[in-house]
Amino acid sequence: MFTKTYSYGYKPPIGSTLNYNHPLSSNIMAAYLFNESSGNVALDISHNNNHGVLKNGASFLGGMLFLDGVNDYVEVPDSSSLTTANELTIIARFNSTNVQSRWNDIIGKGTSDTDEEYVITLVNGAFYFDLGNNSGPYVNQIQYFTNNTFHRIAAVHKKISGTSFMQTYRDGYLGTGSVATATNTINNNSVPMSIGKRFYNSDPNLRTFSGFIDYIYLLNKALSTNELNEIYDNPYVFIDPPSSIKYFSINKSNIYVPSITSQEKLGVNILPGPISIGPTSIQSSENIPNPTNKIKNPEGKCSTTLELIRIYKLQQLYLYQLQLLLQQYSVHRVVLDILTELHLVMNMESH
């Protein structure tokens, strides 16, 4: 069982990339955030570019992938980067409308049970994770799921000296059940990967996923409990936001800004949660040798690089806007302008 509590309430926006300084970045086979608001392409943010195509009316809704449970799915072309022989971890967060009454396919790569490379399918009471052709290796472990509830899952495989070790996790809890045919050979096929259904080019109506998939990651490493813990606590730990806003950290929907150096303009809502900015936390790139008309901030301190901060708060959940203006030097100049003005909030408390 994981020891941390899932509390991360922010999803990186479009334009986010893999953080190549994170130790797991080299192990990511594919990573889908499903944060697209429109279109029919699910972007893979890994360096492998395993982008998927939405099929049969699958759509993006509320920053997630929505599948109707009839025939919707996402198709990802076959690639050598989607194959791994001895180690594999698949991580996902989902909300199914009917997981208590029927199987829901999360992911699959194969045309039938005789040639599939990997599959995860779920029903209340069972977590099925299969890796081989014919009869495994696979586990069908006891795990319990609830309709219309977000669950976080992980499936881990590692082959040691010809024997497969497999584990499943649901919301941090380890499943119970042994590995069947643990010495069978892991399969490698040339079939596209499907998100939301098990078998490619077969009738998807029996077990196709119904509901929302928030994100799904595939890694060619059997993650340790500590590594799973890290991702469980922050599922975006190895992801960088767009370069224009990468200089903030976020904790439980609160944003703390140690520095902002960009002068780019952003045209989307990208900063959720309460925002606190100190008067010395934003650095101007202007070269002003001797400013003469300094203005004291409410703390009584004098800033030579920033004279006025205006924070505009968008009055709906998770959508906030920030506008920073530099004023009263030799000229007026916009340092960073994010979105439009709504409600003025002044907060000069340093963090």
Are residues 259 and 225 located together in one domain of the fold? no
Q: What average pLDDT does range 287-299 have in this prediction?
A: 40
6: in domain: no
Which pLDDT band, with edges at 50, 70 and 90, does 204 fall under? low
Are residues 76 and 45 located together in one domain of the fold? yes
9: in domain: no
Are residues 153 and 171 located together in one domain of the fold? yes
266: in domain: yes
Q: Is 305 exposed, middle or buried (0-12, 13-18, 19+ CB in 10 A)?
A: middle
340: helix, strand or coil: coil
Are residues 344 and 283 located together in one domain of the fold? yes
Are residues 64 and 158 located together in one domain of the fold? yes
What pLDDT is stored for residue 8 in this prediction? 55
43: in domain: yes
What pLDDT is stored for residue 124 in this prediction? 93
Residue 111 in contact with residue 215, Cβ under 8 Å? no
Q: What average pLDDT does range 303-311 have in this prediction?
A: 34
Are residues 218 and 253 located together in one domain of the fold? no
Domain ends where: 199, 221, 240? 240
Domain, as residue range, for 248 = 242-351
Are residues 185 and 302 located together in one domain of the fold? no
Domain ends where: 240, 261, 292? 240
Residue 159 in tokens: 């082959």
CATH assignment of the domain containing 109: 2.60.120.200
Are residues 94 and 215 located together in one domain of the fold? yes
10: in domain: no
2: in domain: no
List, for residues 39-95, the tens digit of each pLDDT value.
999 999 999 999 999 999 999 999 999 999 999 999 999 999 999 989 999 999 999
CA-nearest of 103, 107, 53, 63 to 82 is: 107
Are residues 206 and 270 located together in one domain of the fold? no
1: in domain: no
User: Considering the chain, what is the average pLDDT of its residues?
Assistant: 75
What pLDDT is stored for residue 302 in this prediction? 36
Planar angle of CA 50, 14, 234, nearest 5 degrees? 85
Percent of the chain with pLDDT over 90: 54
List, for residues 2-30, the tens digit of each pLDDT value.
444 444 567 888 888 999 999 999 999 99
Q: Is the pLDDT of residue 121 over 80?
A: yes
CA-nearest of 225, 221, 219 to 86 is: 221
- Cα separation, 68 vs 70, whole angstroms: 5
User: 131 or 319: which carries more pLDDT confidence?
Assistant: 131
Q: How many domains does the chain have?
A: 2
Domain ends where: 193, 225, 240? 240
List, for residues 125-151, the tens digit of each pLDDT value.
999 999 977 678 999 999 999 999 999
Are residues 25 and 166 located together in one domain of the fold? yes
Q: Is residue 291 within a helix (H) or strand (E), and if so which, with residue range? A: none
Are residues 295 and 156 located together in one domain of the fold? no
145: in domain: yes
What pLDDT is stored for residue 241 in this prediction? 77
CA-nearest of 43, 61, 62 to 52 is: 43
Are residues 301 and 311 located together in one domain of the fold? yes
Q: What average pLDDT does range 194-213 have in this prediction?
A: 85
- Cα separation, 20 vs 3, whole angstroms: 26
List, for residues 240-249, the tens digit of each pLDDT value.
877 655 544 4
What pLDDT is stored for residue 15 in this prediction? 86
